[in-house]
Amino acid sequence: MRIAIDARALLPPTTGIGTYTRGIAGGLAAMSGSEVRLFSPRPLPETDGRGPWTVAADHHPLGMIWAQTTLSRRARAWGADALLAALTIGPVRGDLPFVSVVHDLTPWTKPEWHKGRTLVGFAPLWERTLERAERLLCVSHATAGELTRAYPETRERVRVVWNGVDSDFAPPEPAAALDETRRRYSGGNPYILSLGTLEPRKNVETLVAACELLWSRRAGLPDLVLAGGAGWKTSALFERIEKSRYRKRIHMPGYASRETARDLYQAAEVFVYPSLAEGFGLPVLEAMASGLPVVASTAEALREVAGDAALFADPEDPAAFSRAIERVLDDPAARARLRAAGLLRAAEFSWEACARATAGVLAEAAAGANR
């Protein structure tokens, strides 16, 4: 089967959808009988331009216009059986069957959390994508439930396939490397870690408030590292951090590459993810695979992914997060249980399994179009 993938999410800087695109492309390309080609409006970085796939890159400045005017034609000319629309929106014209990967519905349910550019590029094409997609592949049951409640007519075309986790994320080994990571990102101090684009729905202000509560009670507790690139609507967050009496204990290293993220997970004391809403929550899975205890919000998708391998707190309640973090830091038995449970839970997710299931959905799409 020839599989075309919309690879725009691999153009820098990559975020969670870029991680998904890379993981699923590698998994599909490794399957016997599959041939994968990544299509992009511009050349991909060297790390992604070479792999178990081929690349067709154009020189188009506007990705969404390219996706609507060029992608389907280019993929069809290559002989693709189906297209994986990894960025959700698929071509509204053309005869190439496609599977829309629905990561979450927040651009439509919570537009205030997103850039105007995102809304302009996605919202007008969303319902047409729903109409034309042969299958709608949701990354969690939580996302599938939200989709089918909002659009009951899609129910027969919806499939759920969990994301995988990169093998790079694993428990740490040499202690010296952990010390170097702490020196680099937290002034040599132990730290609490949160990782993700700094944007409203990540709810970072709740975590800052929770840590301030911790430090006001016990000055000797770890610092906070907020890793991730600045997204949008961050001025209030940055102002909040600058005015904190504990400003020197809050470290913001900026965008974290996959290698940096791996190092940060391995050297942290606990990972905290207070997000208001997620379609899946890859950082939670990566942290568990790294042997790191996790405290997460009660968002439905995060509970689905983490299962019983994390502690959960109300995303609107800094005191609840403060108590959960303190429990992990103070209770060796709880910490050991979370680490062990997290490793077992993370082992249930792989790009190989994701690829097998996704290939089945793509085959359904191709067969449906043929009929």
**Is 293 within a domain?**
yes
Confidence tier at 118 by pLDDT (50, 70, 90): low
Q: Which domain holds residue 83?
A: 2-164+350-370
**Phi then psi for 10, rounded to 5 degrees?**
-85, -5
Tens of pLDDT, residue by residue over 2-44, are: 999 999 999 988 889 999 999 999 999 999 999 999 999 999 9
Q: Which two tokens stand for residue 237?
A: 């967050």
Pair (329, 360) in one structural domain: no
For residue 371, the model assigns a pLDDT of 44
Question: Using an 8 Å Cβ cutoff, are 57 and 75 in contact?
Answer: no
Q: Mean of the per-residue pLDDT values for the chain?
A: 93
* pTM confidence score: 0.93
**Is 121 within a domain?**
yes
Tens of pLDDT, residue by residue over 305-330, are: 999 999 999 999 999 999 999 999 99
The amino acid at residue 88 is T
Pair (201, 329) in one structural domain: yes
CATH assignment of the domain containing 212:
3.40.50.2000
Q: Is the pLDDT of residue 113 over 80?
A: no
The larger pLDDT score, comparing residue 174 to residue 371, is at 174
Tens of pLDDT, residue by residue over 150-208, are: 999 999 999 999 999 999 999 987 777 899 999 999 999 999 999 998 988 999 999 99
Rounded CA separation 90/314 (Å): 35
Pair (263, 289) in one structural domain: yes
**Is 59 within a domain?**
yes
Tens of pLDDT, residue by residue over 236-287, are: 899 999 999 999 999 999 999 999 999 999 999 999 999 999 999 999 999 9
**Phi then psi for 300, rounded to 5 degrees?**
-55, -45
Q: DSSP states of 245-268 as a string? A: TTGGGEEEEE---HHHHHHHHHH-
H/E element holding 271?
strand 270-273
SS3 56: strand
**Is 170 within a domain?**
no
- Residue found under tokens 């770890």: 222
**Is 169 within a domain?**
no
Pair (211, 358) in one structural domain: no
**What is the chain's length?**
371
Pair (20, 40) in one structural domain: yes
Give how many domains the chain has, as a whole number.
2
**Is 242 within a domain?**
yes
Question: Using an 8 Å Cβ cutoff, are 365 and 98 in contact?
Answer: yes
For residue 14, the model assigns a pLDDT of 84
**Is 239 within a domain?**
yes
Confidence tier at 48 by pLDDT (50, 70, 90): confident
H helical segments located in the chain: 16-29, 46-49, 63-66, 72-78, 106-109, 116-132, 141-150, 175-186, 204-217, 235-243, 258-267, 282-289, 300-306, 318-330, 332-346, 351-370
**Is 131 within a domain?**
yes
